[in-house]
Structure 1
Amino acid sequence: MLPEGWRKEKLGAVAEFQRGFDLPQSQRSEGSVPIISSSGASGFHDTAKALAPGIVTGRYGSIGDVFYVEEAYWPLNTALWVKDFHGNYPKYLYYLLSNFDFSKFSDKTGVPGVNRNDLHAVNVLVPPLPEQKKIAAILSTWDRAIEGTEKLLANSQQQKKALMQQLLTGKKRLPGFTGEWKIGAISEIAHIDTGFAFKSSEFTDDANGMPVIRMSDLKDGTLNLENCKRIRLNSLSGLEKFSLKINDFIFGMSGSLSNFAWVKNKNLPCYLNQRVGRIRSKATGDQQFSSYLYLSEKIQKEIEDKAAGAAQLNISLNDIRDMKIHIPPLSEQKAIAAVLTTADTEITAIESDLTRLRQEKKALMQQLLTGKRRVTVD
């Protein structure tokens, strides 16, 4: 049964799509008109092909993203744009399409693509215009909260990056610390090692097998063993050497900042494969300080420079061990690490807020766009 006052329509009678327009790079002129492709804004031109407000989505290539355009624009040929809203509220249709599963209509070819005629034939639920406007206003409020949190996150990340650059090089000193820093190799304050190269015959489907940590198991500071490989417990000796302890820092040896993780909460019996490195501090080094050094702009740049020219970025343990760093006294290392850890904690809290806002908005959209939750219209 339809919600009271709502109607069922073909999408083509609600939002009529048209293919975008070709615009080779050689034919673009300097201007302020945004060019919108299947992946969003992709340059500027001096001429518009569509007036605002506009809705654009991917025709092939990037499928599923929907963009709301608030100024006259040029929809590119990789995209579909709504040329006729048929009297409906554009911002409401933007949310309706943002909640749409375009993948169901993707061509079964090597390059994903969507046929607008297939989209036009889909049935959608449409509320009266006043309710469309109210729903759009509610969801726009959530978008503003999400955008504000995204900006707060970006600012916090940038501030932490600047702090790392200053604190890890001694350009900025914390209160109470003076004196010169020593210049030395990172191996002077931390053990840096790696794991084994495994044969396929050593792996097992037994869930009780010993986890083997690979680069693909590390992402954005977290360790995910859900899809990790496992080996038989009797395959190798030396387990203690390659078990991970709380606060161990592990990293993919490819120079990618996204492939790293701290071991948190408890020790983890496991093996590392040969492309995962581990940093464990020596008596002269603080564990967190050593880990932040690896993530610093200086060392990451050196990793990229040493790996340049290879088909895939790779770095050797000796290259990392020999990298020169500024080494403050242990007490100052700990103080610096504490400041950066606090910054990380704040960033994690903002990321959690952002995830919550996105999830709550998604759930609200499901209810509002189906009429399961009605709004009061003035």
Structure 2
Amino acid sequence: MTVDNWRPCEWGDLAELKYGRALKGYRDGRGSTTVFGTNGPVGTTEADPHGAGPGVIVGRKGAYRGIHYSPGPFYVIDTAFWLEPVNEVDIRWAYYELLTHDINTMDSGSAIPSTSRDAFYKMPVLLPPLDDQRRIVAVLGSLDDKIASCLKAIGLAEALGDALLRERLTVDADGEPLWRPEPLGEALAVLETGSRPRGGIKDIDGGVVSLGAENIQSAGVSRAKRFKYVTEDFAEKMTRGVLQDGDVLVYKDGGKPGNFIPHVSAFGEGFPVARAVINEHVYRVRTKAPVTQGLLYWVLRSEWLDREMRNRGTGAAIPGINSTNFRSLPFPSLPQEAIANLGPTLDSLLKRMLMLGSEIATLEETRDALLPELISGRLRVGAVDGVLEEVLM
């Protein structure tokens, strides 16, 4: 296919894949240069960057190897490549074009799955004139920039909620909160898991979304972009694990032996979907008055409860926290006045985070639908202006 004066060529005509280099100390939080590996950002460094940015990073080693974009300075470790294009290629257009390819099919044949540079260079590409590249970037980039703005707002709300909780807590000389005599379980009205049909759900491609551990990151944030489902009939018959707005969700079990890493999220306001159930690896948690869902969310997200859950969930062959251990978690001692004042504020913050998460899902859906059409030339930029304005309002 040709579009106007778009030129058919191969990626080897347009760019070179440059090898990353091994680096130590990038997980210690020092430096302002983002460090990338095969799956994306892995830390920061004070070392000289490979590029001032923007730049494109291409996964080199591993079963899953992604395409990543860095708006600023970047350093690439030895599990990835970075792209050095010729002048006629807009680097962000290159990023979007590469997202239309599956580099995980380009194995070099080594024991560890690795991207073949030869196969990469042979990938076909339809190269628009630079002005057209920039118009495409303006559309897709505006959506990604809005997503980034929403994620930043979620992060700020998360930090604000944590700060408000800490402000109300009484801590001892070691910085530990004073715990009330009754455990967390006394403040809970609901603690339950869901289920899946006998025989599994891998062949079910529609129905009601079934959220699992992979969907639990934090309120408004979900890295999993594909959902699993149970049938409508199965969901209707479920007596446990049917989600309601405001439910707090906790990753219950799984992971590497001896290392339980809890995750706490929430459901509602269309995030991550309007209707869902949970499987047996996730807790649905609701409180009794006067403790609110927002207060519960930030207590469970606190460093102290994170540590307590890790301690209770580590040691089994399949690490996790059972309902007895979850109910026995401590709950901070807060005056009734503090709970009455703090609870509604945290509820509002949690609601805002969920609404932003729902907005992100809409933006991502729009971007993912437009990307292959714009990159292929099947859809021209002028045809999407009205839709874009409506989505970005």
**TM-score, length basis structure 2:** 0.64
Alignment of 1:149-168 (within 5 A): 149-166=150-167
Per-residue deviation, residues 248-274 of structure 1 (Å, max 9, x unmatched): 867454575436767999xxxx9996x
Structure 2: segments with no counterpart, 5+ residues: 172-178, 205-209, 221-226, 254-259, 271-276, 383-393
Pair 1:328–1:218, CA change in 2 (3 A): farther
Amino acid at match of 1:186: L
Q: Secondary structure at the match of 2:376?
A: coil
- CA offset digits 1:193-247 (Å, max 9, x no partner): 7789x9xxx956799xxxxx9974973579x88359x99xxxxxxx98x787968
Is contact 2:190–2:286 with CA below 8 Å preserved after alignment?
Answer: yes
Alignment partner, residue 7 of structure 1: 7
Q: Aligned letter for 2:143?
A: W
1:56 maps to a residue whose letter is I
Q: Distance in 1 between matches of 2:252 and 2:282?
A: 6
Amino acid at match of 1:8: P
Work out which of the residue numbers 354, 358, 371 in structure 1 matches 2:364: 358
In structure 2, the residue matched to 1:178 is: none
Q: Distance in 1 between matches of 2:181 and 2:214?
A: 34
* Post-superposition offset of 1:310: 5.5
| 2:107–2:114 CA contact under 8 A, matched in 1 | yes
Match of 2:229 in 1: 226
1:9 deviates by 0.7
Instruction: Tell me which residue corresponds to 2:17.
Output: 17
| Deviation sequence 1:38-96 (CA, Å, 0-9, x none) | 3346443655666765432111125122234655x654332223334263333322322
| Segment of structure 1 superposing worse, 35-44 or 355-364 | 35-44
Q: Deviations over 1:144-203 (max 9, x none)?
A: 322222211211122223334445x479xxxxxxxxx9753334444687789x9xxx95
Structure 1 residue aligned with 2:68: 66
Structure 2 letter corresponding to 1:154: G
What is the percentage of aligned positions where both structures have the same residue?
A: 19
| Matched ranges for 1:45-60 at <5 A | 46-47=47-48, 54-60=55-61
- 1:75-130 CA-to-partner distances (Å, cap 9, x unmatched) read 43322233342633333223222333223324577633210111111211111122
The answer to whether the 8 Å contact 2:57/2:69 transfers is: yes
Measured in 2, the distance between the counterparts of 1:288 and 1:21 equals 45
d(CA) in 1 for partners of 2:60, 2:43: 15
Amino acid at match of 1:226: Y
Residues matched between the structures, number:
338
CA contact (8 A) 1:251 1:277 kept: yes
Task: Please give the residue correspondences for 1:137-156 in structure 2 after superposition, counting only pairs within 5 Å.
Answer: 137-156=138-157
Relative to structure 1, is the Cα distance of residues 294 and 244 closer, same or farther in structure 2, using a 3 angstrom cutoff? farther
C-alpha change, 1:259 and 1:203, in structure 2 (3 Å) is: farther
Q: Does 1:300 align with 2:303?
A: no
In the alignment, which residue of structure 1 is the partner of 2:182?
Answer: 184
Alpha-carbon RMSD across the aligned residues, in angstroms, is 4.9
Give the TM-score taking structure 1 as reference length: 0.66
Answer whether contact 1:56 1:75 (CA < 8 A) is retained. yes
CA pair 293-150 structure 1, distance change in 2 beyond 3 A:
closer
Q: What is residue 236 of structure 1 aligned with on the other side?
A: none
Partners of 1:151 and 1:125 lie apart in 2 by 34
Does structure 2 retain, via aligned residues, the 8 Å contact 1:56–1:80? yes
Question: 2:333 aligns to what SS in structure 1?
Answer: strand
Once residues 16 and 70 of structure 1 are traced to their aligned partners in structure 2, the CA distance between those partners, rounded to angstroms, is 20
Distance 1:362 1:88 in 2: 21
Q: Distance in 2 between matches of 1:264 and 1:54?
A: 35
CA contact under 8 A between 1:58 and 1:78: conserved in structure 2? yes
Report what 1:174 is aligned to.
Answer: none
Aligned to 2:263: 258
1:5 to partner: Cα distance: 1.1
8 Å CA contact 1:53–1:68 kept in 2: the answer is: yes
Cα distance in 2 for residues equivalent to 1:17 and 1:258: 36
**Do the aligned residues in 2 keep the contact of 1:257 with 1:295 (CA within 8 Å)?**
no
Counting only pairs closer than 5 Å after superposition, residues 1-378 of structure 1 correspond to structure 2 as 1-18=1-18, 20-23=19-22, 25=24, 36-38=36-38, 39-40=40-41, 42-44=43-45, 46-47=47-48, 54-61=55-62, 62-68=64-70, 70-71=72-73, 75-85=76-86, 87-106=88-107, 111-166=112-167, 169=169, 183-190=181-188, 203=198, 216=213, 219=216, 226=229, 251-254=250-253, 257-258=262-263, 286=291, 288=293, 291-292=296-297, 295-297=300-302, 298-307=304-313, 313-315=319-321, 317-322=323-328, 323-326=330-333, 328-329=335-336, 333=339, 336-375=342-381
Q: Which letter maps to 1:346? A: R
Cα 1:245–1:86, aligned 2, differ >3 Å: closer, same or farther? closer
Three-state SS of the structure 1 residue aligned to 2:56 is strand
Return the index of the structure with the highest Cα Rg. Answer: 1
Is there any run of 5+ residues in structure 1 with no aligned partner, and where? 172-180, 208-212, 232-238
Give the Cα–Cα distance (whole angstroms) in 2 for the partners of residues 343 and 309 of structure 1: 35
Matched to 2:184, the amino acid is I
Give 2:114's aligned amino acid: G
SS in structure 2 of the partner of residue 2 of structure 1: coil
Q: Answer whether contact 1:218 1:261 (CA < 8 A) is retained.
A: no
- In 2, Cα distance between equivalents of 1:139 and 1:361: 6
Distance in 2 (alpha carbons) for counterparts of 1:79 and 1:217: 24
**1:279 touches 1:290 (CA, 8 Å); kept in 2?**
no
The one-letter amino acid of 1:96's match is E
Deviation, 1:12, is: 0.9
Q: Tell me the secondary structure at the aligned position of residue 82 of structure 1.
A: strand
Once residues 65 and 5 of structure 2 are traced to their aligned partners in structure 1, the CA distance between those partners, rounded to angstroms, is 32
8 Å CA contact 1:106, 1:115 repeated in 2: yes
The SS at the match of 1:16 is strand
